[in-house]
Amino acid sequence: MTATKWALICPFFLILILHSLAIYLFTRGFLLARTELSSFSHCSDLSLSPCSIPSSSMHDFSSPGDHLPNVVGNSSGWTRPAISRLVIIIIDALRFDFVAPSSFFNEKKAWMDKLEVLQKLAAEENINSRIFKAIADPPTTSLQRLKGLTTGGLPTFIDIGNSFGAPAIVEDNLIFQLANNGKKVLMMGDDTWLQLFPHHFNESYPYPSFNVKDLDTVDNGVIKHLFPSLLKDDWDVLIAHFLGVDHAGHIFGVDSIPMIAKLEQYNTILEEVVQVLKNQCGPGDLHENTLLVVMGDHGQTLNGDHGGGTAEEVETALFAMSLGNPSTSVASALNTDYCHPDLNGKKMCIGTFQQLDFAVTMASLIAIPFPFGSIGRINPELYALAGSSFEVRNNCAETCGSHSNLDSWMMNYVNNLCLNSWQVKRYIDSYSTASVIGLPAKDLYYINTLYSEAQRSWPDIIKLAVSYENDIHIGINDNTTSALQRQVDAYSRFLASVAKLARSEWTEFNLKLMGFGLCIMLTSLSVHLFTIRRVNILCKSYYTFPGSSFSFFRVLTVIVFVAIRAVSFLSNSYILAEGRVANFLLGTSGILNLWSSFDSGTVTAEDLLFLVLTIIIRFGIESGMSKDTVGSGSLSSNSPGNIGIEKGYSLWMGLQEFLPIPALYILVILMCIYISRSSCWKCLKHFFIIGNILSYILMSVHWVLESNMIAAPEVLQYFGKTFAPRIIYSIGLLLFVLLALLVTVNKNDMFLVSKSTESLAIVTTGMLSAWSPTILILLGRQGPYVALVCVLGAWCIAKLKYAAQVDDGKGALTELISDPTPVLQWNLLAVCLFFYTGHWCTFDGIRFVAAFTGFEHFNIVQQGILLAIDTFGVSHIIPVMSLPFLVISKHQIFKKESSKGFLLVNLTQAFLMYGLITAVTTTLTIICVTIQRRHLMVWGLFAPKFVFDFIGLLLVDGLICVGSLFYY
C-alpha cells in the first residue's frame, strides 16, 4: 500500500483503539459485580445468635419433624425441621397465568387453565396446597435466577455474561448447605445446575439445555428418572428441571400449539407425581412429611423471550403442597387479600412470594444453616403450609382451644425470623467491612436502627415462651398473638429495608473509572471530527469546488436528528420505543427529500418509494417478524418414504412457509444480473454466482424440510436441517477467503479492471456475496423480505440526487459525499432493520434459536459466532460493508472517471461520518447510563442498552478497519 492509503486507513485503527480503551475503563467502573464474600454459615454459629429460647420451652413448640422417622440429624441445623423430604420441580419460563385460573384475569387466553391439577389441588385442598405469584429479580435469565434462588442474594448484571459458560458458585448457597449437613440431593434436567454445583449432588442426570429447537430431550430425560426416584429413599431433596416450555416460547411464542401441548404434557406429569406422593404419605411411609414445590425460575413475554424486567418476565408461579397434617387455625390466619372465585366458583386465594426468600425459607423448613449471603425473609405463608402443626402441652390444648396451634406456630416462626434477621444483619456488617465501597452510612444507620428496635422486644418473647413452661395460660390469648405479630412485623420491616437497600445499591460504581472512560470517549469524538476535517481538505486538493453544493440547513438537520435520537436515551420509554423513533427520523428525512425535490421540480420514483419503505418498516417493527409461529409444524409426524403435504395445514400457513422462497430467488436473480453485467471478473465471477445460487438453493431446501410440511425420508430431513446450513456457512467462508486472497495478490490485475469504481464495486459485491447467505439463513424465513427492504432502501438512498451535484457549466463533480444526509439515512435504516428483524436492546431480544441453525449441540465459540452474526448482521455487517455502493453511485453520476485517490477519499469520508454518528449515539448512551445509574430500570433496560451500543460501536469500528483493508 502507498503512504497515502495508509494515511487514510490509520485513523480508523486509532479510533478503534480509543473506543476500546474508553469502553473498557467505563465498563470496569460501571459493571462491577458485588463483592462475593467467602464466608459460610456453620451449625456452630448458632451459639452467637441472640435468638435462643430456653430449650425446655422450645420443647413445647417443637415441630412435628422431631418425631419423624425420615428426618436425619435434627439437631444439626439452626431450626427444628418441619419437613423430611423436599421435591422441587422447576418448569423453566413458567408464566404466572400458566398456573393461576383464568378467572383471575380480565381475558381468558388459549394457554390458560392447562395446568388444571395445580388449580384443583389449590382449590380443594387449600389448607395444605397453595398457588403463589412468585416475583423474580431481573435479569431474568435462567443462570441468574438459579443463582438467586440458591444463594438468597441478588445476582448483578455482569453475571449475564456467564449465561453460556456458567462458573461454579463459590459463595454460600442452599445446595452447599444441604450437602454439607448430610442431606442427599438428586438433580435431573437442565445441565446448568451441574455447572453451578459441580460437586454437590449425590446423583445427577444432566441434559444439554441450550438447543432451544429441542423441546423434548431434557423433558424426556427428567421423566425417565423422576418417577423411579420418587419411590426410592436414597435422597432428601429432589430437583427436576423441565425446559420444554422455555424452548417452545423461544421458538413459537406463548400463543402456539407447541406451547399448549407442552403445558398439557406437564399437567399429566404433575398428576402422576401428586398421585405417587399421596400413595406414600401415610404414617411411616416414604413421603409422610414431604413438601412438593412446583415453580418457575422466571416468566416470559408473549414472544417467549425473557431476560429483562417487565412484569411478564419477572412474574412467575410457585405451587406448594405439604403432605403432612396441616392446622386449620394456622391456615386461616394467612394473608387472604388476593382471592377470587376459581373456575368452579369456589374461593381461591393466591399468595405472593419473593424469589429472594426461597433459599432461607427452604433452609428453615429442612433445618440447615441459612446461606451466609442470603438477604431474604422466611415466607410466612409457605412456612405455614409446611410447618403449621406444632405440639403444645396437653393441658394447654384443652383450655386454650385454637389459639394453641396458632400461637405455637407463631412462636416457632418468630424464633426462625429472629435467626433470619440476625443472619442478614451479620452479612450486611461483613459486606460493609469487606467491600471496597461498602454501603451508604446513612442507609446502614437506618437498618441498624430497625434491627435494634426489633431486638429490643425480644426478651418479652422469651418471657412468653417461659410462661408456657410455667403453665401461665394468660399467654394464650389475643394479647399473645398481638405481641408475636408485632415482633414479626418488626423483623419484617428490617428485612424489607435490607432488600430494598440491596436492590438500589448492590452494584458498586467506580466513578473515577467511569469518568476516565467518558473523557476518552469524548476525546475520540474530537479525533473523529479532526480526521473528517483533514479528509475534507484532502478532498479539495483533487477538485476545486465552485461553492458549497449543499446548504447549511442539511448539516443542521443531520445534527438535530442525531441529537434527538441520542438524547432520547435518557428516557426508559424512548429506549423501549427506539425502533419507532429511528423510523420516525428516517421517514422525516424522506419527507425532507421529497420537499427538496418539489422545490427543484424533479420528484423521482426513489423519493416516493423511500417513504413507502419507511411505512413498511414501521409496520414490521410494530408487529415483530422474529417469531416464526408455524403452528403445529414442529409436532407433525413424518412418514419416511412418503412425500406430500401434511394434514392440518391451512392455505395461509402454507403460504407463510413457501412465500419466502420466491422472494429468495428474486434476490438471486438481482445479484446474478448485477454480477453478470461486469466483464472484468474473468472466470472468478462464476465462483461467486455458483456459490450464491447453491447457497440459496440449500436455504430453500432447509426451510421446506424444517417446516415439516412435506413428509420426507429421515436421511433427507437430517440433511436439510443440519448439513444444508453448514454447507452454506462453508461456502460463505470460502468466498470470503477467496476474496481476501484476490485482494492480497492485487485486485486490479486479477479482475482486469482499469476503472477504480469498477474495482471497488467488484470487491464490495464479493464481500456481500460472502456474508449475505449466512445472515439470511440465520434470520429465518423473514430473511428474504428483510433483504429486499434493505436493497430497495439502500437503492433509494444511493440514487437520491441532492447528495451529488453536477456543475452544469463544466460538468465538474462538486462536493460529492460531504453532505452527511445520505450517511445518516444509511445509519437510520440500519437501526430500523435491527428492530425490524425482531431484535431489541435487551437480552430477551436475542434470538437464541438462530445459534442452533444447523447444529444440535452447544459450543460457546460456534454458537456465539452465529448468534453475533444473527444479532448484528443486517444492522451492522451489511450496512458497513455496503457503504462503498453509496460512493460508487455518486461517482457514476459524473460522466468522466474519477481518480482512484479521489474515490478513496470519498469512501473515507463516508466511513468516518458513519462511524461518527454511531460514536455520538454511543457516547450519549454512556452519559445517560451514568446519569440513570440509580434508576429503577438501570439493570433491566439502561445497562442492556449500553452493552448493545458499545458492542455495536466496536463492531462498526472493526468492520470499517477490515473494509478499508479490502477496499483501499
Alpha-carbon span 78 to 207, nearest angstrom = 35
**Order of strands, sheet of 129-135, starting from the edge strand that comes earlier in the sequence:** 203-207, 185-190, 237-242, 85-91, 290-295, 315-322, 129-135, 347-354, 339-341
pLDDT at 629: 33
pLDDT tens digits along 47-97? 888 886 554 444 444 443 344 433 333 445 788 888 889 999 999 999 999
Cβ–Cβ under 8 Å, residues 135 and 818:
no
Residue 162 has pLDDT above 90, yes or no: no
pLDDT at 82: 87
Q: 550 versus 498: which is more confidently predicted? A: 498
Alpha-carbon span 160 to 141, nearest angstrom = 7
Residue 752 has pLDDT above 50, yes or no: no
The residue assigned the cell 399421596 is 278
Distance, CA of 292 to chain centre? 29
Q: 524 versus 209: which is more confidently predicted? A: 524
Rounded to 10°, the helix 441-456/478-505 angle is 170
The grid coordinates of residue 440 equal 451508604
Residue 240: enclosing H or E segment and its boundaries? strand 237-242
Residue 700 has pLDDT above 90, yes or no: no
HSE of 343, CA atoms in CB hemisphere, 13 A: 16
690: how many CB neighbours lie within 10 A of its CB?
11
User: Does residue 296 sit in helix, strand or coil?
Assistant: coil
Rounded to 10°, the helix 458-469/403-434 angle is 150
Residue type, 690: I
Cβ–Cβ under 8 Å, residues 236 and 85:
yes
The grid coordinates of residue 234 equal 436414597
Per DSSP, 167 falls in state P
Band the pLDDT of 480: cuts 50, 70, 90: low
- Lowest pLDDT segment from 28-42, 56-70, 100-114, 440-454: 56-70
pLDDT > 70: percent of the chain: 77
pLDDT averaged over the chain? 79
- Lowest pLDDT segment from 72-76, 136-140, 639-643, 768-772: 639-643
For range 421-449, the mean pLDDT: 85
Beta bridge partners of 240: 89, 188
Distance, CA of 207 to chain centre? 21
pLDDT at 815: 46
- Per residue, what are the HEC states of 309-339? CCHHHHEEEEEEEECCCCCHHHHHCCCCCCE
Which range, 135-139, 153-157, 208-212, 420-424, is most confident? 420-424
Q: 336 versus 562: which is more confidently predicted? A: 562
pLDDT at 345: 67
* DSSP H helical ranges for 645-782: 651-658, 660-676, 684-706, 714-718, 724-751, 756-779
Residue type, 50: P
pLDDT at 605: 81
Band the pLDDT of 464: cuts 50, 70, 90: confident
Residue 817 has pLDDT above 90, yes or no: no
pLDDT tens digits along 644-665? 334 444 555 555 666 777 777 7
pLDDT > 90: percent of the chain: 31
Residue type, 526: S
Band the pLDDT of 850: cuts 50, 70, 90: confident
Band the pLDDT of 296: cuts 50, 70, 90: very high
Q: What are φ and ψ of residue 625, in 5° steps?
A: -120, 5
Residue 359 has pLDDT above 80, yes or no: yes
Alpha-carbon span 853 to 213, nearest angstrom = 9
pLDDT at 98: 94
Residue 90: enclosing H or E segment and its boundaries? strand 85-91
Alpha-carbon span 86 to 102, nearest angstrom = 29
Contact partners, residue 161, CB within 8 Å, separation at least 6: none
Per DSSP, 806 falls in state B
Handedness of CA 634, 636, 639, 644 (dihedral sign): negative
Band the pLDDT of 726: cuts 50, 70, 90: very high
Alpha-carbon span 789 to 777, nearest angstrom = 16
Per DSSP, 32 falls in state P
Q: 364 versus 817: which is more confidently predicted? A: 364
pLDDT tens digits along 862-886? 888 999 999 999 999 999 998 988 8
Alpha-carbon span 319 to 257, nearest angstrom = 24
For range 311-329, the mean pLDDT: 81
pTM here? 0.72
pLDDT tens digits along 507-531? 557 788 889 999 999 999 999 999 9
Alpha-carbon span 498 to 491, nearest angstrom = 11
Residue 814 has pLDDT above 60, yes or no: no
Contact partners, residue 951, CB within 8 Å, separation at least 6: 872
pLDDT at 600: 72
Residue type, 484: L
pLDDT at 602: 76
The alpha carbon torsion through 156, 157, 160, 162 (nearest 10 deg) reads -50
Cβ–Cβ under 8 Å, residues 359 and 371:
yes
User: Does residue 739 sit in helix, strand or coil?
Assistant: helix
Handedness of CA 134, 137, 138, 142 (dihedral sign): negative
pLDDT at 897: 53
Cβ–Cβ under 8 Å, residues 538 and 818:
no
Q: Which of 416, 290, 412, 418 is nearest to 363 (CA)?
A: 416
Q: Considering only CA atoms, give the Rg of the chain.
A: 33
For range 24-36, the mean pLDDT: 77
pLDDT at 809: 40
Peptide bond into 820 cis (omega under 30): no
Cβ–Cβ under 8 Å, residues 31 and 157:
yes
Cβ–Cβ under 8 Å, residues 883 and 910:
yes
Q: 683 versus 637: which is more confidently predicted? A: 683
pLDDT at 389: 44
